[in-house]
Structures are given as C-alpha cells and as structure tokens.
Structure 1
C-alpha cells in the first residue's frame, strides 16, 4: 500500500472534522478562502437568522489547500474560492454539482506595518533587497496575483517568506515580521490600525471569487443562492468586496 500524501491526510482529517455528507440535515458546511473570513462569519449569522433550523459550519484556509482537501474527499457542501483557476481544478474533477458562479471581486493591495519601518512608499520600493517582503505562495490565488502585479510593474522582488494563505501574510505584517506584504484590499480593513496601505499606482489587478455547491443537498444550493442574492451581496460590499 502506498503511503498517504500530505494532501490526502489533510483531506481525511477535514472529513473527520466535518463528518460524512458535509454535516447533518440541519447543517451546511462551507469551505471558503481565508480572505473571506470576516465576510462569511457575517454571512453565516445572517443565513442562520433567516433559517433558524440550519447551522452553518465554516472552514477557512488558502484556496489551494481547501481544493486539495475537497479533492481528497473532505465532505464540503459549498466551496468559495479566491480565484477561478483553483475552482476550475475542482470542477474539472467532477466534484461540483453545478457550474461555478462568480459572486465577488477583490483587488491586490500593498500593506506595511503602521509605523512603516522600511519606508515603503510605492511598489517599486520592493526591489530593495534589504526589505523583508511577505507574499502568498505561487499556487495560492493571492500569490499568483502578486507576481502578476510585480511583473506588470517590472519590479524584481522575491518574497522572503511565502505563506499558504493571505491572512498568514497579513499576520507577518501586523507583527512587524515583514516590512511589506501583498494582500487583498479587504485585508487592509481586517488589519485594523496595525497596517497601512501603500498605493499600487496603475498596477491594479482583480481576482474573481467563484462559488459552487459541492454536495447535492438542497441546503447547499440554498446557501449559494443566498450568497448571490441582495442580502449576501450587501454583506460582501460592506466588507469591501466588489460586485462581479
């Protein structure tokens, strides 16, 4: 017997946590990109208020990690990814029960600790090798977007630390373990008064966020409809996401 890979082990552990079939009849298990954390906490509260008999279970991580868990057998009901490429890999495996739909957009942002010890004033400053730059790993949506923006600007900057989720990058900056980090615009607000945003200039790129039902349970489709509806879109807008 071949040993289980790390991805399969992660999927098995996630399956044990969430249980068979994504949860009981009165639960909906949602796997969502880390950058959606605060928005989806509020979405879950709103959905539960409108559906008192339903419990929303949220699992946040980098989109690539969540996709690997789902591919390995984790029983999610809904998957919300931070980019189309990651969602397309899951859909290509025949795991989604309906075509993915874009429900929100986000854009890249450059953040620094609030006291800006590296004196970062613009994107080109990241070419300074003395700066500690944090970014997502290339396979993570925010990492792919960061590299595209740096390439567009002609900035030669290699991240000193590559993280598995955008929130891990934000944490590095809030703790002043990095002089700068490439995150999403919505993460600037999540950082509160611990980070400051540096303008990217014309180098602006957006990520589309797709969602799809993974299970054929009625509650999965209903949660997706709620996300796409006016109440769900209003909550996302409040957290800084753009409409698709």
Structure 2
C-alpha cells in the first residue's frame, strides 16, 4: 500500500472520529447561544418548596400555578399546616425554600434559629369570626351562645396562630371558652364544622369565605383586637434563592395582593 493511500485512510478515519466526538460533546458547548434549547436543558426541572400557613391554601394554590406558568420547568411544591408545626419541621431540618407564617410569633422562632435569608416581609392581615354549620343545629346567634351547655365548640390549639388570637379575643371580652377539641390548624377547625362534627368553630374570616354556603358566620366581639399579621421570607438553605425571592415578590407584589384581597385578607 502506498503512502498516499495510507494517508487518505488516516484522514478519513480522523474525520469520522471528529464527527462522533462532536456529537458526544457537552450540551452547552458548541456554537449555540446561551438562551437556546441546549442551554435550557442543562438547568433541568426545578422544584420550589413553599411552607405556608393553612389559611393561605386557596390563595397560594393559585399563585403557585401562576408562578409555574411564568417559570417553565419549575414546580411549586406547597406544604400547608399550622405555622407552629411548620416551624418545628423547618428547625428539625426539613428542606424548603420559602416560609409564610400566619403570625409574627412563629416567624420569630424561625429567625431566632437563623434559618432566614433576609428580613421577613408582612404581606397580609387576618381576623377571626365564628362559623356554624349552614343549618345551625345549636341555634348559635351570638358569642355568648358559645358557652351554652351542650354546645360543641372547636378552636385552634393555643400554639397555633388562630388559637393564640382566640385566646386574645377571650381575654379582651372577659370570657373563657370551653372547646370540646383544639385543632392543629384552622382548616381542621373549619372541617369539623362543615362536616357536622362541631356546632361552632372560631376561624379566620378568609376560611369562612372559602367555605361559602357550607357555613354561616356569627360576629365575634372585639375581633379587631386580635389581628394576625402574615410574614414571608426566603430561607437560608433554599436550593434556588433567586426563584424563592421571585416567589416572595409575587406574593408581596400587586398580583399577589390582589389575590389575597379577593380571598378576604386585609392589607399589610
């Protein structure tokens, strides 16, 4: 075989290998620009985990969907519960990116544990009301009726924001209530009323509104003496602090504020 033939074969093999190697290169390498499909695929799907007070469920469900639409490839995982229980989970190491509390007391527990990235921002307020089943079997028409014999009243536990606010209302009215059970979240209280397991419950006005015609509301005297302020913050160990900060801005910005207003929340 001549040297010329050998050289041609070597060149052909080199060309084939070059094509194969080019095809095996990094997706972000090569001539594509940073905004192209290859660059986008390198990021992969992202999950933003938000721990939020149970009373925020309806509003945050919608805001989560809005956020996902604005951030393709991002999933918003929402974990709802009583604020005190959520803080306990976070201090014990549960992974999350954002925390929204139904009161400042539980947010302070989180900041005292130095789990926050930046200062919390107040984004909403809420007050309490009495709810009874639509047919009102115990014929409750006033705050005083909650103390009638045989009335099955349900409230939030004292460590939960709605429970702490209930205690404040009791104090300013000079009354001590005797609930048959104390629940770990306001949605649990509402659930017992709507299912007929309780004659009455004390919940946030937003929860009463979300229940619609399943409940009837009864005025709670001096409820304005126990207004809960809702703070939100990005967490120090957030996997994606930029996404977390953007979600926080959505909640505190015009779009989030409009959604919260529709749900019955007060302004910050």
TM-score range, shorter chain: 0.7 to 0.9
8 Å Cα contact 2:128/2:223 also seen in 1: no
Q: Residue in 2 aligned with 1:64?
A: 84
Distance in 1 of aligned mates of 2:94 and 2:176: 39
Q: Residue in 2 aligned with 1:118?
A: 138
Residue by residue over 1:138-187, the C-alpha shift from the partner in whole angstroms, topping out at 9 and shown as x without a partner, is 00000010111122112221211010000000011001111110000000
8 Å Cα contact 1:84/1:208 also seen in 2: yes
Q: Give structure 1 regions of 4+ aligned residues with deviation exceeding 6 angstroms.
A: none
Q: Name the Cα RMSD after superposition.
A: 1.3
* Residue 212 (1) aligns with residue 212 (2): no
Distance in 2 of aligned mates of 1:87 and 1:124: 33
| Alignment counterpart, residue 92 of structure 1, candidates 112, 116, 119 | 112
Residue by residue over 1:86-135, the C-alpha shift from the partner in whole angstroms, topping out at 9 and shown as x without a partner, is 01001101001111111111111110011111111111221223211100
Distance in 1 of aligned mates of 2:63 and 2:246: 13
- Report 1:94-243 matches (<5 A): 94-204=114-224, 205-214=226-235, 215-216=237-238, 217-243=241-267
Alignment length (residue pairs): 221
8 Å Cα contact 2:102/2:161 also seen in 1: yes
8 Å Cα contact 2:126/2:228 also seen in 1: yes
Q: Residue in 2 aligned with 1:10?
A: none
Distance in 2 of aligned mates of 1:202 and 1:67: 29
Which ranges in structure 2 are unaligned for 5 or more consecutive residues? 1-43
8 Å Cα contact 1:153/1:203 also seen in 2: no
Which ranges in structure 1 are unaligned for 5 or more consecutive residues? 1-23
8 Å Cα contact 1:111/1:183 also seen in 2: yes
Q: Residue in 2 aligned with 1:52?
A: 72
